[in-house]
Structure 1
Amino acid sequence: MSHTTQHDLIGLADVAAKIPKFIGKVPNLIQGLSQAYLRTPSTPAGLGIAFEKAVKRNPHGLALMFEEQRFSYKALNEWANQIAHYYLSQGARKGDVIAVMLENRPELIATVIGLAKIGVTIALVNTSQVGKVLTHSINLVKPVALIVGEECRAAVEEIRQALDLPADRLDWFADQETQRDAGKAPNGFNNLAEKIDHFPKFNPPTTHSVQGKDGLFYIYTSGTTGLPKAVVFTHSRWTLAYGTYGHVLNLNPKDVMYVTLPLYHATGIVVCWCGVIAGSATLAIRRKYSTSSFWKDVQKFNASAIGYVGELCRYLMDAPPSALDQDHRVTKMIGNGMRPNIWNKFKQRFGIEEILELYASSEGNVGFSNIFNFDNTVGFSPTPYAIVAFDKEKNEPVRDARGWCQKVKKGEVGLLIGKITRRSPFDGYTDPEKNKAVILKGVFQRGDQYFNTGDLVRNIGFRHAQFVDRLGDTFRWKGENVSTTEVENILCDYDKIAEAVVYGVEIPETNGRAGMAAITLNADATLDEHDLQQMVSQFKQALPGYAVPVFLRIQAQVETTGTFKYQKNKLKEQAFNPAATTDRLLVLLPGAAAYTDLTPEIFEQIQTYQYRF
């Protein structure tokens, strides 16, 4: 995934050269770090407290922009308070869970602030989920209510009977400016905009009773069982992000951060937004990312910072050059997944001075952040971690004769593991069995415990790392985690498919890995033109778009290991190259409604980047 040169390795002299520019950030960073690290699980902490402080600092400054809507800190806070008071009146209490399914718009932001203030954990449901996966995600966290936007209502209506939720706890926002016009709620849904209208606008008494150990979000990650896992994101972890990423970003009330990332992911809702709150700056959001509107929006909102994932950067680089590329005041960006091969080109083309690349996972306890503004790195980590030698064939860390793991040398690649301590705890999943699976014990000495990130990184020196690849049964595509088991289960629902093995494959010039499935058909079954179209339509009904396999390989039988695990390594190596196999290969080309046979000509065109996946 990443290509290192000797030039990327970092030593003391390199860090010393960065110090002059870094000095200006130090007072702000010290303030942030003191908030991040001088906390205990029972300290009052979190989003609600931080937001109320920002309201005090900048009451009339802009807190939020969306399309033509503008909200000051005071106005947004009052709206959030009405939501908080309403749910308190409904009996919602600290420790309860409310599921929220809204696209990026002001109603989502106000709801998150309001619920955070009363200590309710907000389950941020992925708005592209449907069917079985959506039912599982909602029921998994046992919510006391579900707040749904009209834009997601059809998906909820379809599974309504399967939800473990009282019929009168479905709350609804119209898909419009609900503070101006609450709209008319469909049957069986409570009109939330109407309900909250009569409630007080002052801060609820509960904000300061929320403690670090209390849950703020459930964020869903792809599970190896095939269904999403819900990861608890505590107020303490939010405060850690706010104190570090939030203050490194060094925004002020004149700054505007433009975010098009989905706010059900931590990069958008935590990393980008906490920088805005820390600086009492403005958050500008768009419902869904659009390449053609990106720099137009940046200009419209007068943005000075942007949030990103690697995929987004690639789309922007692929777009034809335009006068807007440099006609803006963006100098900073924060996010993850920027590929080394476009890092410098991106900075030059768009006039970016600072790429605050970071590494963190929703469930993990180890984080890196590019505070010194080096190129091609996820940055520096203040948390205790190690990078250890890893055996890809055995899929486990290498241990010596005495059973201890081995740290890799500078310049080498290994498995990233985070030490579990009181200050860097592992908050974990909702399922204790899943927690056991990701904790390594007796790593360097008896009794120590480390969280296994499942990611390979390169040690580039001075506590800096470079992301290399992700292991295991998930891969990233279009900035989303795809669970191979979830996709395998859905593919096997197609009546002609007997077995499916799903894995990620690299397409030149793209980020992450595209989905590919090696499938075996039922006895005597063949795939005709109708199937090639029908499969796409059935897969799209059951899976988010990014999880629908781009490539299919029709096999006579699936190869397994002695323990009946699928032989994925060989499949990944051969990928979708027609010269590497005699199996029939199919591809879902961009914009197509059906799979088509992958010929050597199409393969060549994909290699030379003539299709934009």
Structure 2
Amino acid sequence: NAVKFPNKIYLYYKDETYTFSEMDGLVNKVSRALLDIGVRQGDQIALFMLSEPLYLATVLASIRIGSEIALINSNLKKSPLIHTLKLVDAKYLLVGCDDNLEKVTFYKSDETSFNLKIGKLYKIQFYCFLKKSSTLQLKQEELSKNISMSNTACYIFTSGTTGLPKAVIISHEKCLGMVAIHHFVDMRQDDVVYTALPLYHTAALLVACMTSLNLGCSVVLRRKFSASNLLSDCRKYKVTVLQYIGEVLRYLCNQSPTADDKNHQIRIALGNGMRPDVWTKFLDRFGHSIQIFEFYASTEGNAGFVNMFNKFGCVGTCSPIMKKIGGYAFVQYDRDTGNPIRNEKGRCIEVGLNEPGVLIAKVTKSAKYQPYKGDLKMTQRKLLHNVFKEGDEYYNSGDVLVIDGEYKLTFYDRVGDTFRWKGENVSTNEVSDTIADAGGIKECNVYGVKVPGCDGRAGMAAIVIGENNDFSLTNLYRFLINVLPKYAVPIFIRVSPELEITSTLKMRKTTLQTEGFDISRVNDPIYVLDPDSQTYAPLTPEIFQKIENCSLRF
């Protein structure tokens, strides 16, 4: 597209613009800088940076020279950050020009050391190479060689049932599969796509930026989401396609109404996680002419659905024919463990219409599962064998969906040890392990609970206090806020005399999740996050009522 549309604007960022030709030149420039510092085809590098044009150019440059780039969640710090860098065996860590990012990268871990060269973008080492690099096309010998569709393009991290972040190996084939979404959602070359999601996420990087690059349309990149500025941004850049996750549109709808709410050129809203109540509010307020293309997909999964026909509240359709062609099935699952239930013959049991079931998808040559880098066991945990017949293999999404009588597909819930909050996956195991390190706590069980007016689930921890009387809610707050990403810090703490376990000695979450933070149903004392007082404060009837009425938000 740099040849086809050299002067067409590809990227808007603040008051900067980059044509397709200029972005191609920037990618060449970064490619040469990477080569100059010693990065070669097959090397693994890590990018720890906030969203900006250089982030995108660095990813594209890495792909151009054949290195494998790991996209580190910029919210990580301390041990989880060290873990991710060790997991991908990064040769270089490129750090964005941000004081907070630089601060956390110099955290000293007690764990075994590993070799890592740190280059600071915009600062001495890497910037010097970048500044002197040419924007001209790379020579043939500088380009990657013998790259196949199965080769690794990048690593995108996801948090799952094993606790710490896992690196999903994203192949070139997966990248191309994701950017093909424009064929199903009526995107055009004259569109302007808006994303305020972080580029370390599949949604922003592949669905917004890479799709726009592939199609030849423009994309607006905002460094950080702002509900108060979203609509003015859309007017400024004449946005026609708005990318969202459920929280984005909810926050937008929570802004005070104005007479200009329908003064925009948005014709498509593309994303996932929108609740039906937000769906209605969004269209009523900003115009029913907007087509909502809600979709379902996962970074590592081999199944995807798109609401191509603008049907209210669903993520797509899945008829019996589609199930057969796609190799999809929706099966019964254990509410405590999240594992699929098997019959007396050892086979999984499909659910009927209007019944919630875990989505599983057959693994084939044309529907591959993206493995995790590292321990093979992590990958195997997501695969099911001998599901409907001997020798078959299915990917277990861990997501529960429902098909109705019209074959409309709606998202129901997540199972297992992960829940979603503030647009991020939160691992209950990781948070539990962190709380255990806070001191004074004997046992801990972390889970997600529904909060009125909020998407996803808020973190809640049921704890048993130790016998040494050295526990303090204030100390717990200070410890967690310093160690965990903000979205992973539990909103509620429940102090219990003991925690219920299953017959297999696993923590039981079902009852805890059902009771939630409802003080009328729970005899144990419950505390709620209070950032102003920097502690966890008692959840009183007054505070509980404010949460129920959506007048207290998190």
TM-score (norm 1): 0.84
Which residue in the other structure is 2:227 paired with? Answer: 291
Instruction: State the secondary structure of the residue aligned to 1:538.
Output: helix
Given that residues 41 and 144 in structure 2 are in contact (C-alpha distance below 8 angstroms), is that contact kept between their aligned partners in structure 1?
no
**Which secondary structure does the structure 2 equivalent of 1:132 belong to?**
helix
Where does residue 460 of structure 1 map in the other structure?
404
**Which residue number corresponds to residue 234 of structure 1?**
171
After alignment, is 127-136 or 495-504 more displaced? 495-504
1:171 counterpart letter in structure 2: G
2:68 is matched with 121
Counterpart residue type for residue 20 of structure 2? Y
Alignment of 1:328 with 2:275, yes or no, is: no
Q: Deviations over 1:369-398 (max 9, x none)?
A: 122222211114663211122232464323
Rounded Cα–Cα distance in structure 2 between residues aligned with 1:249 and 1:203: 35
C-alpha contact 1:411 1:460 (8 A) present in aligned 2? yes
Distance of 2:113 and 2:372 partners within structure 1: 20
Asked if residue 399 in structure 1 is aligned to residue 342 in structure 2, the reply is yes
228, 233, 240: which one aligns with 1:304: 240
Preserved CA contact (<8 Å) 1:246 1:278: no
The structure-2 alpha-carbon separation of the partners of 1:161 and 1:196, relative to structure 1 and needing over 3 Å to count, comes to farther
How far is 1:138 from its partner? 0.9
- Asked whether the 8 Å contact 1:117–1:210 carries over to 2, the reply is no
Partner in structure 2 of residue 197 of structure 1 = 132
Give ranges in structure 2 of 5+ residues lacking alignment.
none
Question: Secondary structure of 1:312's match?
Answer: helix
Q: Give the drift of 1:408.
A: 2.1
Deviation at 1:89, TM superposition (A): 4.0
- What stretches of structure 1 of length at least 5 have no aligned partner? 1-53, 175-183
Q: Which amino acid aligns with 2:542?
A: E
Aligned with residue 278 of structure 2, among 342, 356, 379: 342
1:540 counterpart = 2:481: yes
Aligned to 1:501: 445
State the secondary structure of the residue aligned to 1:452.
strand
User: 1:101 maps to what in 2?
Assistant: 48
Q: Is the 8 A contact 1:456 1:469 kept in 2?
A: yes
Q: Tell me the CA shift for residue 222 of structure 1.
A: 1.0
Deviates more, 1:560-569 or 1:306-315: 560-569
The corresponding residue for 2:104 is 155
Cα deviation 1:405-441 (Å, max 9, x = unaligned): 2322222211100110000011211121011111111
**1:112 Cα deviation from its structure 2 partner:** 1.0
Equivalent residues, number: 542
Query: What's the counterpart of residue 50 of structure 1?
Result: none
Counterpart CA distance in 2 for 1:257 and 1:364 is: 25
Q: Note closer, same or farther for the CA distance 1:103–1:553 as it changes in structure 2 (3 Å cut).
A: same
The CA deviation at 1:461 is 5.5
- Kept in 2, the 8 Å contact 1:249–1:275? The answer is no
- Aligned pair in 2 of structure 1 residues 325, 208: CA closer, same or farther (>3 Å)? farther
Q: CA deviation at 1:165?
A: 5.5
Q: After superposition, give the CA deviation of every residue in 1:508-528 in whole Å (9 maximum; x if it has no partner).
A: 12100000001111204275x
Higher helix share: 1
User: Measured at CA, do residues 398 and 225 of structure 1 come closer, stay the same or move farther in structure 2, by a change above 3 Å?
Assistant: closer
Alpha-carbon offset, residue 252 of structure 1 = 3.4
User: In the TM superposition, what are the counterparts of 1:142-181 in structure 2 within 5 Å?
Assistant: 142-151=89-98, 152-159=101-108, 166=115, 169-174=117-122
Distance verdict in 2 for CA 1:534–1:117, change over 3 Å: same
Distance 1:333 1:396 in 2: 34
1:564 maps onto 2:505 in alignment: yes
Contact persistence 1:590–1:612 (CA under 8 A) = no
Structure number with greater CO (CA < 8 Å, separation at least 6) is 1
Q: Is the CA contact (8 Å cut-off) linking 2:10 and 2:18 kept in structure 1?
A: yes
Give TM-score scaled by structure 2 length: 0.93
| Distance in 2 of aligned mates of 1:202 and 1:71 | 17
Matches within 5 A, 1:191-270: 191-192=126-127, 194-195=129-130, 197-203=132-138, 205=140, 206=143, 209-243=146-180, 245-270=181-206
**2: CA distance between counterparts of 1:596 and 1:73?**
53
Q: How far did residue 451 of structure 1 move? A: 0.4
In the alignment, is the contact (CA less than 8 A) between 1:99 and 1:145 conserved in 2? yes
**1:112 aligned to 59, 67, 77, which one?**
59
- Aligned counterpart in structure 2 of residue 133 of structure 1, from 72, 80, 96: 80
Q: State the partner residue of 1:34.
A: none
Query: For the Cα contact (< 8 Å) 1:588–1:596, is it kept in 2?
Result: yes
- State the 1:329 CA deviation: 0.5
Q: C-alpha offsets along residues 321-371 of structure 1, whole Å, 9 cap, x if unaligned?
A: 123421110111211101122213212211252111111111111111122
SS of 1:289's equivalent?
coil
